[in-house]
Structure 1
Amino acid sequence: MAETIFKQMYEPPAPDERDEEEAVCDDASVDAADLPAAAELTFEEKLGALNRCVMRHPLNREILYKALAFCEQERPLREAEDFIASLPQFTSATQNHYYLLTSLVKAYGLDLVERDEEGGIVTPEMKEGLTEDEVDDLVAELSFETTEVGRYFVEYNKPAARLVDLLGLAPERADTYIELLEFVGAEPRTYGQVEGLLAGRPALETVIDGRRETMQPSVFVDKLERAGALIWNKGWTLTEEGREFLEDLKVNGQAQ
């Protein structure tokens, strides 16, 4: 199962999968009583829905992954929103904090927890027969906690694991990926500088339908970004996870 998930982290969902996820995540409003009937789905079905939600838009992918990891400990709404706002990837996000969090709830990655003034959990039974205003008075705080499905997703999609998988999928290009990580790790780089670094490299050559083709350097950048190692921040630069991965390679003698 993990191998399948890793492969999906590098590939966008098919059009019909995107349409399906539109139905799951379109509405930003959420109420605990209106959530999907998770008990009717298998673990694998919920995992598939979560994977599609995270993969739905490249600009939101790492934000959603990091939100799942952050909420492994229950987090109040404001704390979760502040965390998302602090991420460098959020400057390019296509949706606001609350929408991103509730999309993960609807995709079975997060549990929505409602608590009263004393910190107790508000159950659906406690809201039966109450008016909307009375429910609003009863629920003092919303918080989010990662589900079992979300924890599995986080564990098997850690950036370090994604990078190992990426290098393993194309061992003949591993040295080029590592060199590119070192290059952007020294200072932020423009795409033009990356293009100059990789121009003429044999690693750009590939065979498609029996014909020799030359890949664009952007392919390398895109795959490293999908793996959680690169981010655009006034130039391509390493994420914290990318820098840690590169340090590990140096310790093991695989990088300069």
Structure 2
Amino acid sequence: MDVAALVADDLPDAAELTFEEKLAELNRTVMRHPLNREILYKTLAFCAEERPLREAEDFIAALPQFERATQNQFYMLMSLVRSYGLDMIERDEEGNRVLPEQKEGLSEDEVDDLVAEISFKSTDVGDWFVDYNKPSARLVDLLHLVPERTDTYIELLEFVEAAPRPYGQIEELLLGRSALQTVIDGRVETMQPSVFVDKLERAGALVWKEGWTLTEEGREFLEDLKVNGQA
């Protein structure tokens, strides 16, 4: 099957889109499914170097977030190709890149014989997206968004650093905190503790792995806070 041709049929000509339009499409793709969001981000970062299909699929499957993913590895890779975050590269037996003009006039079987390997590499759009959305930057934004909640976020990070925590323990830790109070349409409402978990997960700091625990990025961020006397 000529996968590259199928992808090309689904896409507007990239030359017709601005960088910002392609970035907006990539952002929509990554942010669309909460359970896949961090997987897609990490896949873009992993493919900063060209990665063969099998290596990319194995990387995705090994991520703790993949346990709850709603799509398989190949579908997620192709969604990033369709949204301009990844280039799909076809190579022949000698490792040379197969160009579209080389496949002109060939049957599907002949294309299959020509293409020995598929690999993926991030585009300029994908690279920019990864750099802009680094977990450390997302966490800084989160902690400064509502300053009166900063200490609670840090305490929660420290709580799950000690050991993976079921949600019930986190709920018990946070219930009754003033940080859960928010004003909606002039009325004081109480948020669920799950809001804090969700926001830290979206920022790339928490992952479910037999309990809520720190990601590598979350652990590094907390260590930086400790070094700077903020935790």
TM range (shorter): over 0.9
Q: How does 1:1-256 map to 2 (within 5 A)?
A: 30-32=3-5, 34-35=7-8, 36=11, 37-255=13-231
Deviations 1:29-72 (A, max 9, x none): 94246422111111111001101100111111111000000000
* Cα drift, residue 233 of structure 1: 1.1
Percent of aligned pairs with the same amino acid: 77
Offset, 1:192 = 1.1
Deviations 1:207-240 (A, max 9, x none): 1111111111011000000001011111111111
Q: Which runs of 5+ in 1 are unaligned?
A: 1-28
> How many positions carry a matched residue from both structures?
227
Q: Is the 8 A contact 1:114 1:141 kept in 2?
A: yes
Q: Deviation at 1:159?
A: 0.5
1:234-254 Cα offsets, whole Å, 9 max, x none, are 111111110110001000000
The CA RMSD over aligned residues, in Å, is 1.1
TM-score, normalised by the number of residues in structure 2? 0.96
* Amino acid paired to 1:104: L
The residue identity in structure 2 corresponding to 1:31 is: A
**Hey, what does 1:6 align to over in structure 2?**
none
SS at match of 2:71: coil
**Contact map agreement 1:77 1:143 (CA 8 A) in 2:** yes
Matched to 1:244, the amino acid is E
**Residues 171 and 30 of structure 1: CA distance in aligned 2, closer, same or farther (over 3 Å):** farther
Report the Cα offset of residue 191 of structure 1: 1.1
The normalised TM-score by structure 1 is 0.87
Q: 2 CA distance for matches of 1:101 and 1:220?
A: 30
Paired residues of 1:32 and 1:112 also in contact (CA < 8 A)? no
Q: In structure 2, how many angstroms separate the alpha carbons of the residues matched to 1:53 and 1:165?
A: 22
Q: Kindly report structure 1 stretches of 4+ aligned residues shifted beyond 6 Å.
A: none
Instruction: Tell me the distance in 1 between the aligned counterparts of 2:7 and 2:67.
Output: 30
**Closer, same or farther: CA 240–249 of 1 in aligned 2, 3 Å:** same
